[in-house]
Amino acid sequence: MWTFGQQFGIQAISFLVSIVLARVLLPKEFGLIGMISVFIGIGTSLVNSGLTQSLIRTIDPDQEDYSTVFFFNLIGSIIIYWVLFFVAPLIAAFFSQPILIEIIRIYCLTFIINAFSEVQLTRLTKEMNFKLQMTIAIPSLIGSGLLGMFLAYKGYGVWSLVWMGVLQTFLNTVQLWFRTGWMPSFVFNMAKFRYHLKFGYKLTLSGLLDTIFTNIYQIIIGRFFLPAQVGFYTRADSLKQLPVSNISVALNKISYPLFASIQNDNVRLKKGYKQIMQMVIFVVAPILVIMGVLAEPLFRFLFTDKWLPAVPYFQILCLTGILYPLHSYNLNILNVKGRSDLFLKLEVVKKILVAIVILVSINFGILGLIWGQVVTSVLAFFINTHYSGKFLNYNAWQQIRDIIPLIGLALVAGFFVWWLNYGLSSYSDILRLTISSFVGLLIYLGLSLFFKIESVDQFKKIILRK
């Protein structure tokens, strides 16, 4: 409950703030942040270093474990910041955008700020204390969102986005430092460091690869196209991630420490994995299908006409969003089993595949690149299920068999939404969105009850606490 409260609260507030900012700022200003997202992601992956994941799966970590990881992350964040500080001019020259020099040097201060609270957050996650996490995250977001909107209306442009990000990290860190009651001891245990590093460094390398290739589309679009095109792409991708993040990330946050506690019971792991996977697809699939069908009135209503070029990008990306939870949960099984080596191996294979697809699809422009993402997402699903399928005796085809009915019902509902939206094309956007989405969800739920979809009963049990 607290995790979903935090996730939905954060997404709702972020969404409202993004609507206001999108109406005030220009697409190219969002594009500038999109250009450096890969470097921000790389820095974040290095700061986290995978050692915090090792702490979560360690049965009884002590003060020395936590303190050792804390000081390693802190020192690492300072080194990473100064590296990016000095290479900022090269990055700006690559994109032919001189303003990126100062943006990088200020925005990347979040690495150091975040390093002060990463272990505190890890402790809360390991203890499954998600209530405190929610009461820390939401006020931080509200404060930073208010600052971002104020600066945007005052004409600060892209800097409203920069300072908003810095303030959110600062407020979050200050609260975690003082409200968790944990402080590091001045100790660095080399034996414990080696223990966590043995597991964590592979996750770090995997995270780096994932970050680079997740953001590689912003790099390519930013290098060969206009900044506004990066803005359209990032806007489409962030809206696609809205339902995916709300459901998938929230459950992933719970499932990892939960599955870690039963890591040696494959029967329970398989049952829990199957239930969570089906529940996520049950919710995410119809939402993404309906949003994709209603993309044009949705973008015009939320962000105004200037963002309509992002509509075709968004509709294609919705296809990848449906498969996203499956990637995440299959890889989680490897982490739970302590097989970060296999995790890294799969990431290398997938990134080679992505590079090949990009080299082919870039010849067909931005739309070709985005369709290439759909292809790689499908292929990555079969790669990700290779080892987890063996561990749980639950291979890719078995997983597909369990989710196809849910996706099929979502597509049927989407067809009715398309037909109804077409008939209402002469009416206002808000009326089209309200009526079409309501009818679509009603049809989906009705079909789910008629065909006795298992996820319906699972949600009933959760709501009724039975």
- Residue 284 to residue 289: CA distance in whole angstroms: 9
Residue 396 corresponds to which tokens in the numbers above?
């890719």
pLDDT for residue 125: 78
Mean pLDDT score of the chain, rounded to an integer?
Answer: 84
DSSP state, 427?
S
Match 């810095």 to its residue by tokens: 166
pLDDT at 419: 94
pLDDT, position 178: 87
Q: Are 317 and 240 in contact (CB under 8 A)?
A: yes
Residue 205 has which token pair?
């390398």
Other residues' Cβ atoms within 10 Å of the Cβ of residue 293: 25
Alpha-carbon distance of 265 to 115, in angstroms, equals: 34
Most confident of 191-205, 352-366, 409-423: 409-423
Q: Which of 101-115, 207-221, 434-448 has the lowest mean pLDDT?
A: 207-221
Lowest mean per-residue pLDDT among 13-22, 52-61, 409-418, 419-428: 52-61
Rounded CA separation 403/277 (Å): 8
pLDDT 10s digits, 159-192: 999 999 999 999 999 999 888 888 888 888 888 8
Q: What is the pLDDT of residue 161?
A: 93
Distances, alpha carbon 318 to alpha carbons 26, 59, 97, 221, 236, in Å: 24, 38, 30, 19, 9
Whether 87 shows a pLDDT value over 60: the answer reads yes
- The structure's pTM equals 0.73
Please check whether residue 327 is in contact with residue 347, taking contact to mean a CB–CB distance below 8 angstroms: no
**Amino acid making up residue 348:** V
- Ramachandran region, residue 254 (left: φ > 0; alpha: ψ -120 to 50; beta: rest): alpha
Give 225-238 pLDDT, tens digit per residue. Answer: 888 888 899 889 88
42-51, 335-344, 350-359: range with highest mean pLDDT: 350-359
Compute the distance between CA of residue 349 and CA of residue 436 in angstroms, rounded to an integer.
Answer: 41
**Cα torsion for 75, 78, 81, 87, to the nearest 10°?**
-90
The tokens describing 16, both together, are 């409202």
From residue 250, alpha-carbon distances to 171, 263, 387 in Å are 21, 20, 24
Q: What is the pLDDT of residue 168?
A: 92
d(CA 28, CA 306): 11
Crossing angle between the packed helical segments 365-392 and 227-244, to the nearest 10 degrees: 30
Confidence of residue 412 (pLDDT cuts 50, 70, 90): very high
3-state SS record for 209-268: HHHHHHCHHHHHHHHHCCHHHHHHHHHHHHHHHHHHHHHHHHHHHHHHHHHHHCCCCHHH
Contact 161, 30 (CB under 8 A): yes
Q: Tens digit of pLDDT for each residue in 266-292?
A: 777 778 778 888 888 888 899 999 999
Q: Report the phi/psi class of residue 257: left, alpha or beta, with left for phi > 0 and alpha for psi in -120 to 50.
A: alpha
The pLDDT of residue 101: 94
pLDDT at 364 over 60: yes
Give tens-digit pLDDT for 418-456.
999 988 988 899 999 999 999 999 999 999 888 888 877
Q: Which amino acid is present at 23?
A: R
Q: Is the pLDDT of residue 50 over 80?
A: no
Residue 105 pLDDT > 90, yes or no? yes
If one compares 116 and 464, the residue with the highest pLDDT of the two is 116
DSSP H helices, 58-157, are: 63-95, 100-107, 109-115, 118-126, 130-153
Mean pLDDT calculated for residue range 191-206:
76
154 burial type by CB count under 10 A (0-12 exposed, 13-18 middle, 19+ buried): exposed
- If one compares 70 and 273, the residue with the highest pLDDT of the two is 70
Query: In the numeric block, which tokens belong to residue 58?
Result: 């360690």
Measured distance CA(311)–CA(292) in Å, rounded = 9
Q: In this predicted structure, what is the pLDDT of residue 296? A: 94
Q: How far is CA 107 from CA 149, 162, 165, 263, in A?
A: 17, 6, 7, 38
Contact 237, 291 (CB under 8 A): no
The listed range with the strongest mean pLDDT (234-248, 263-277, 394-408) is 394-408
Give me the residue label for tokens 């506004």. 228
Q: Which residues contact 79 (CB under 8 A, 6 or more apart)?
A: none
Among the listed ranges 223-227, 310-314, 378-382, which one has the minimum average pLDDT value? 223-227
Q: What number is the average pLDDT over the span 198-217?
A: 74
Q: What is the pLDDT of residue 246?
A: 65
What DSSP element (H or E) covers 285? helix 266-293
pLDDT in tens, 137-168: 889 999 999 999 999 999 999 999 999 999 99
State yes or no: pLDDT of 313 exceeds 90. Answer: yes
